Chains A and B, each alone.
Chain A
Amino acid sequence: MFNNSLYLRVLLMLFIGSMHAQTFAKTIIVAPNTKVNSLKIAIALASNGDTILVKKGTYASHNTIVNKQVTIIGEGMPVLDAQFKEEVLTIKADHVKLDGFVIQNSKVGDLRDYAGIRIFQARNTTISNNQLKNNFFGIYISDSHQVKIINNTLTGTAQERKAGNGIQGWKSDSIEVARNHVSGHRDGIYFEFVQHSKVYQNVSENNLRYGLHFMFSNDNSFINNKFTTNQAGIAVMYSKRIKMLHNQFNENWGSSIYGLLLKEILDSHIEGNIFYKNTSAIFMESCNRNKIIKNSFLNNGWAIRILSNCEDNQFSINNFKGNSFDVTTNGELLENKFSNNYWDKYEGYDLNKDGKGDVPYRPISLYAQIIERVPQSVILMRSFIVNLLDKVERSIPSITPLSVKDDSPQMKPWKILSK
């Protein structure tokens, strides 16, 4: 009896609950020249769980605050325009979805970071299929969790003083950034104090500073992204347990530009990436216990520049092809291991036919060390004397660090990365 009555009560509650949802979850339509002619009015009318459908048109939106748990859908890419007066949208509630808008013309500020979309102290937010144009910052996520940023296009102002970051994460957790395209911003994607997040299949190119930039952000993974011709390349710092897999770092070149700058990166995994035509493909400073494996270093100025304060890093099964210099360092490199890499400059032989060269390869050339000390000597590049010096040094090493060598250089390139 007692059991029975509880059962009935639960059933009743469920019934009432669903009745409630069916009765009160409504769709509010926003369209020009109607009573509800702005998003702001629609939000004021909405309750949690409602859907707001915005019809095609251009709407002024001076920091519209989304403080209810609503789904906002644009039909025919309606435009939300801040007319350079404010931010466009701020999301403060949980469970908000925003899909299918053009969001443009946020204010440019020296003191405040005005954004196209700001997500503040929210959870379970999804921002998808939007075009963000001409905003100072694109999407600014702070103090939020479980945010998904999917399939948006962000185009910054491409002007030095008027460009903020494309997708910025601050003090957030479990963010997913996928299939976005960012260009013309200061940093394409910027994270600070962001944890347990996934950044994949994005393209970040032609940004004014870094394509990707993060610091103090642990346990994140970056997979299948493409970072091309960013003015300062990619810089990641002060983070642990990072995974960077199958990304492309292309043509980030010019003075003091790095394909991938790693500073105080610990226990991380850099695998299967392609580095093509960067001034320095990887630059490492104070990095420990990282695995750099199965990457391709193609046609870079320097493939790896590693400072002597780096320890216990492992470089294996990488392909080094067409780089002016394979490895350089500023001192004695200890406890960093190079093994089983393919080096196109290797001139050894393989008598026992095990696919590995019988004599070690020393990836640090004398001339590379000379350039490290006297950068002007780049003017002697590929001259006869430099080739001669390198040949002599390789057969009788005297100046280059003895510890840096690959005892099992591959005779043929690994097939990982013909992409």
Chain B
Amino acid sequence: MFKIAKYISLDIIKSKVIIAYTLLLAAICVSIFMADEDVTKGLVSITTVMLIIVPLVSVVYATTYYFNASEFTELLVSQPISRKNILMGKYLGISAAILGAFLLGVGVPVLLFALSVTGLTLILTGSLLTLCFISLAFLSSVLMRDKAKGIGLALMMWFYCSIIFDGLVLVFLFAFSDYPLEKVLIAITAFNPIDLARILILLQLDIAALMGYTGALYQQFFGSGIGIAFTLIMLMVWFLLPLWASLRIFKKKDL
């Protein structure tokens, strides 16, 4: 498993896409930090950008790579290696490379310019988000036989998490604005890893506290130990559950 992971990540880090991704992230972070002396504001801007780019690149790149390496996967399956080790090896390899890109591109600038609890939270959630979307990419890859369909599904997942879901939440809020929805909303956010990540970071930034009664209420939950644990656990679920599902499917999949 680790051997496969090693070879795959060594293969990926030589690819231009991953280098471009690293440089893009680094360029965004550094320019944001350079443009504004206010570090907190910089972190907010980075969060906004990160919440769009990181899931998108993770899910699309992982799906593409999965399909491009499908013949290689066949070769591996013909070797005396268990399917579990093959899939997990691939997962480890791909996520190590993408995560490495994220840590270099975002982690290093954040540590240099904004070493704080907030900065570390941003790095942690960004990493978890990367893993979540690689898991989702794997799920979509094992569900689909065809590369185009696989990438299509992966994009749909991203689209759902970053736009559609929040749109539905907004509609829901307007429809039921007369009811006390705070607790329901907390539960609802668990269904979207991007929302979880966003809230976790924003609460570190005190912004919720500045947002009046409702904001304070959310902070009371998400800012508490239980709330942080809840958010992190849900993010872990978002990363482990699709991975577990794709492993089950992959074990029975015809190649």
CA distance A301 to B206 in the complex (A): 10
User: Is B163 touching A301 in the complex (CB atoms < 8 A)?
Assistant: no
A373 interface hit (Cβ, 8 Å): yes
User: Is B212 touching A384 in the complex (CB atoms < 8 A)?
Assistant: no
Answer whether A324 and B207 are a contact pair too, CB < 8 Å, given A379-B185, A381-B202: yes
B214 interface hit (Cβ, 8 Å): yes
Which size bracket describes the interface of A in this complex? 20 to 34
Query: Does more than half of chain B's interface fall in helix, strand or loop, or is it mixed?
Result: helix
Of the 9-residue stretches B20-28, B41-49, B115-123, which lies at the interface with chain A? B41-49
B52 interface hit (Cβ, 8 Å): yes
Of the 9-residue stretches B102-110, B144-152, B164-172, B226-234, which lies at the interface with chain A? B164-172
**A interface footprint on B208-250 (CB within 8 Å = 1, 0 otherwise):** 1111111111100000000000000000000000000000000
B198 interface hit (Cβ, 8 Å): yes
**A interface footprint on B29-70 (CB within 8 Å = 1, 0 otherwise):** 000000000101100100110011000000000000000000
A386 interface hit (Cβ, 8 Å): yes
- Least CB separation from B186: chain A residue: A379
Total inter-chain residue pairs, C-beta < 8 Å: 103
A352 interface hit (Cβ, 8 Å): no
User: Is B216 touching A374 in the complex (CB atoms < 8 A)?
Assistant: no
Contacts of A277 in B (CB 8 A): 206, 210
Contacts of A381 in B (CB 8 A): 198, 202, 207-208, 211
Contacts of B198 in A (CB 8 A): 381-383
User: Is B212 touching A255 in the complex (CB atoms < 8 A)?
Assistant: yes
- Least CB separation from A388: chain B residue: B163
Contacts of A387 in B (CB 8 A): 48
- Least CB separation from B184: chain A residue: A376
Task: Count residues on chain B whose CB falls below 8 Å from chain A CBs.
Answer: 39
Answer whether A379 and B169 are a contact pair too, CB < 8 Å, given A384-B51, A384-B52, A385-B163: yes
User: Is B166 touching A383 in the complex (CB atoms < 8 A)?
Assistant: yes
- Least CB separation from A385: chain B residue: B166
**B interface footprint on A247-266 (CB within 8 Å = 1, 0 otherwise):** 00000011110000000000
User: Is A378 touching B214 in the complex (CB atoms < 8 A)?
Assistant: yes
Contacts of A69 in B (CB 8 A): none
User: Is A376 touching B166 in the complex (CB atoms < 8 A)?
Assistant: no
B177 interface hit (Cβ, 8 Å): yes
**B interface footprint on A276-305 (CB within 8 Å = 1, 0 otherwise):** 011110000000000000000001110000
Answer whether A374 and B48 are a contact pair too, CB < 8 Å, given A255-B216, A380-B169: no
Q: Which of A278, A279, A376, A382 contacts B44 (CB 8 A)?
A: A382
B87 interface hit (Cβ, 8 Å): no
Using a CB–CB cutoff of 8 Å, the interface residues on chain B facing chain A are 38, 40-41, 44, 47-48, 51-52, 162-163, 166-167, 169-170, 173-174, 177, 181-182, 185, 189, 194-195, 198-199, 202, 206-218
- Beyond A279-B209, A279-B210, A376-B182, 11 additional contacts (C-beta under 8 Å) are A255-B213, A255-B215, A277-B210, A301-B212, A324-B210, A374-B173, A376-B185, A377-B169, A378-B215, A383-B194, A383-B198
8 intermolecular pairs with C-beta atoms under 8 Å apart: A255-B212, A322-B41, A381-B198, A381-B208, A383-B194, A384-B51, A384-B163, A385-B163
